[in-house]
Chains A and B, each alone.
Chain A
């Protein structure tokens, strides 16, 4: 074990050379994405099949590398074969024998497994040519494709931990801090507060020890970029954390991971153990004299616990509720000590800044927001996945160039950024160049990077209700404005969606929003009204239709619609009649069916089951 310990900067270089020397780049390497999305598609079975097939076909030395998320979740499981870099999408176990015999053995490309560009029909061989990847700037996610997250040597081979070596041996803590400040790295967790300034506050605060913490309590519904970094490249986060600890003067750190992310928990635990084994964590790191210990803490799933003071209370083993922040956690946090909390993506940027310098980092992005941002592009978009783009890109570029446009070629309606704390941005603003400040101006926020695309069939009042109801459940209940404000908002929105909306409801919602913004204890409450306020601002017609005309324009709100049978189209096939759980449909074979409106609970199963589009919604 001690044999592996890295005792100096040159030890690290030597180890890297040794790892690279062991690896012949000509030997085929099959990488399989095993991020959570691809695993759900069955990529683990593909891995097993590949291992068996390589052995059966007696191919000799072939590397099979199981990696974290590649990002193109829409087309998983993803398999990339090196040295040629051939990318296969939607790979099934049945495809494995061909992949091994034709591509790995003969170097032939299997056309049917290539990505086909839907508009042109063109087959694309390399990942870099696929539009989904082509328009991205993948600084953080790039290595997810090249690394087995359970093997520290993969990370070291790509230059991993050299930023740490540079910081420890060539820079003083002050210089590291200055570099991060100069890079203007803003917190990727939501607020966008400059990380360097936060570090400095903790560094200068009285009280010891000081703590550094990674926030991987990603609770935004529809956002999974932190998970994918933590699962796919945990060492990049750990390296950033150690560098931060060095700059701040912290001997101890924590990685706070949601238990609902079992793979992230597993890979982080393995990565921490390996880093210790290699002398990159613990006493006298790389022989520099700097000591730093880090451990993982599994969180138990509470959205509010992602807030800094709540997270630190949870780390202490108590109920993860926020505290009033008369004094910031950077000064008085975990166990009352100065504690610096940054999110996964923020930490992962740190090694890049140290290696390539603040000048390089600030060359990417906009005036106020530097570097890249990872978004999880989801919802009614063709290419669901993780996208990393430079700050300042437009929403249109993300949704159409990378995302491939709207599912089913429907009309785009809005995109929600910032999750339950953010807002819906309408089509008229789709050409806005997005960064922290622009999104705030639009009434939304960057948040941690959820980007949910909505099409014309989405009811914006229903969406506002969805987020408010989510927050009703997640509000910890400690302060009145958030607890009661959300309950009342939920009541009003529910009434509107059920056709019980009244004149004055909108004004009441706005008043509630003001009070919640001003008086809530933590960020959950102060940002909670955003989904309501943005939909009110950009989609007032939809609220009006619900309230005044008792009509849901897109037929989503159940109380305001009815299911009917179009006599001209009904063939009397009995399919809907059999499917109806309420027994609300009557009719004989080959005769037009009728839906009894009294009995109908509007579940929509008849609509789904009709093959002739004879069930209509009015």
Chain B
């Protein structure tokens, strides 16, 4: 844990308790997830109990309490995508990567997430890898896209 980095983030928000969410955001942007020792340190720095910090970190979907992969794959299952075949996209990605949604491959290459609407419904069904959008996506194209991000069959192991 890099304390100076975390101190800088906390300081940026004036060590204000009500800024806990943005603070956790910025920390997650650094680490890609929120390790336990970091949460403890944040709690101490903001004079909060760990349960307050853990409560917030575990309540919101945006925060991850487990290490996340190098590439974040988000499959939209908003209503528009749902009626246009989004579930099949998710299923294909799950099958290829050998993980369920919200899981990370053992080699920490990919994290798979389902999201509830990306607000670009005209493109449904949509899959987003990092910040690249793949719209009007047939399920058979999923494999080719994942290959572009270094997917190979060796990735097909579940993270535990």
Residue ranges of A at the interface with B (Cβ–Cβ < 8 Å): 36-37, 39-41, 73-74, 76, 218-224, 227-228, 259-261, 297-303, 314-321, 376, 378-380, 384-385, 416, 419, 450, 452, 454, 458, 463, 466-467, 470, 476, 579, 581, 603-605, 608-609
Chain A hits for B78, CB < 8 A: 221-222
Check: B120 CB closer than 8 A to any chain A CB. yes
With A317-B21, A454-B83 given, is the CB distance from A385 to B122 under 8 Å?
Answer: yes
Q: Which residues of A contact B55 (CB under 8 A)?
A: 318-319
Q: Is the CB of B95 within 8 A of A315?
A: no
B46-84 Cβ-contact flags toward A at 8 Å (1 or 0): 000000100110011111000000000000011110111
Q: Cβ of B139: which chain A residues have Cβ within 8 Å of it?
A: 605, 608
Question: Size band of the B side of the interface?
Answer: 35 or more
Determine whether the beta carbon of B121 is less than 8 Å from that of A378: yes
Contact between B18 and A261 (Cβ–Cβ < 8 Å)?
no
17 A–B contacts from the bound complex (CB under 8 Å):
A36-B120, A37-B123, A73-B122, A76-B122, A221-B77, A223-B117, A300-B24, A300-B59, A316-B18, A318-B52, A319-B59, A378-B121, A378-B122, A466-B82, A603-B88, A605-B92, A608-B139
**In the bound complex, do residue B126 and residue A315 qualify as a contact, i.e. CB atoms below 8 Å apart?**
no
Q: How many Å lie between the Cα of A318 and that of B52 in the bound state?
A: 7
Most buried by A among B78, B117, B118: B117
Nearest CB to that of A221 among chain B residues?
A: B78
Chain B residues closer than 8 Å to A466, beta-carbon distance: 79, 82
Point out the residues of chain B lying under 8 angstroms from A319, CB to CB. Answer: 55-56, 59
Query: With contacts A37-B119, A300-B60 known, what are 8 further pairs, Cβ within 8 A?
Result: A222-B78, A228-B119, A300-B59, A300-B62, A320-B60, A380-B84, A466-B79, A605-B140
On chain A, the residues within 8 Å of B91 by CB distance are: 603
Q: Is the CB of B121 within 8 A of A259?
A: no
For residue A218, which residues in chain B have a CB less than 8 angstroms away from its CB? 119
CB-based A-B contact count at 8 angstroms? 142
A608, B140: Cβ atoms under 8 Å? yes
Residues of chain A lying within 8 A (CB to CB) of residue B123: 37, 40-41, 73
Decide: A220 and B133 in contact? CB cutoff 8 A.
no
Assembled-state Cα–Cα distance A467/B63 (Å)? 23
In the bound assembly, the distance between CA atoms of A221 and B78 in angstroms comes to: 4
Interface: B116 (CB within 8 A): yes
Are the CB atoms of B18 and A74 closer together than 8 Å? Answer: no
Q: How far is the CA of A604 from the CA of B83 in the complex (A)?
A: 15
* B79/A452 in contact, CB under 8 A: yes
Q: Is A73 touching B83 in the complex (CB atoms < 8 A)?
A: no
With both chains docked as a complex, state the minimum distance between the C-beta of A319 and any C-beta of chain B, in angstroms: 5
B118's partner among A36, A454, A467 (CB-CB below 8 A) is: A36
* Nearest CB of A to B67, in Å: 19
Is B109 interfacial (CB 8 A cutoff)? no
Are B116 and A581 in touch, CB under 8 angstroms? no
Distance in Å: Cβ of B85 to nearest Cβ of chain A: 9
CA distance A466 to B85 in the complex (A): 13
Please give, as numbers and ranges, the residues of chain B lying within 8 Å of A297 by CB-CB distance: 21-22
Q: How far is the CB of A307 from chain B (nearest CB, A)?
A: 14
Q: B62 to A222, Cβ gap below 8 A?
A: no
- Per-residue 0/1 for B118-160: is the Cβ within 8 Å of any A Cβ (1 yes, 0 no)? 1111111010000001010011100000000000000000000
Residue of A41, A219, A224 near B121 (CB, 8 A) is A224
Q: Does B107 contact A (CB under 8 A)?
A: no
Looking at the assembled complex, report how far the CB atom of A454 sits from the nearest CB atom of chain B, in whole angstroms.
6
CB distance from B118 to the nearest CB of A (A): 7
- The answer to whether A73 and B120 have CB atoms under 8 Å apart is yes
Q: Indicate if the CB atoms of A384 and B21 lie closer than 8 Å.
A: no
Query: Does B80 contact A301, Cβ atoms closer than 8 Å?
Result: no
Q: Tell me if B36 is interfacial: C-beta within 8 Å of chain A.
A: no
A608-B138, A608-B140 in contact; A581/B60 too (CB < 8 A)? no
Q: Which residue of A lies closest to B95 (CB)?
A: A581
Q: Are A579 and B140 in contact (CB under 8 A)?
A: yes
A489 and B77 alpha carbons, distance in the complex (Å) = 20
Chain A residues closer than 8 Å to B41, beta-carbon distance: none
- B99 to chain A: closest CB distance in Å? 15
Contact B121 A302 (CB under 8 A): no
Bound together, the chains give a CA A73 to CA B22 distance in angstroms of 31
Q: Which residues of B contact A605 (CB under 8 A)?
A: 92, 139-140
Would A303 and B118 count as touching, CB distance under 8 A?
A: no
CB distance from A101 to the nearest CB of B (A): 29
**Closest beta carbon of chain B to A414's beta carbon, Å:** 10
A458 to B82, CA, bound (A): 10
Point out the residues of chain A lying under 8 angstroms from B59, CB to CB: 300, 302, 319-321, 476
Measured between beta carbons, the chain B residues less than 8 angstroms from A452 are 79-80, 83
Q: Per a CB cutoff under 8 Å, which of B19, B92, B121 touches A222?
A: B121
* B19 contacts A317, C-beta separation under 8 Å: yes
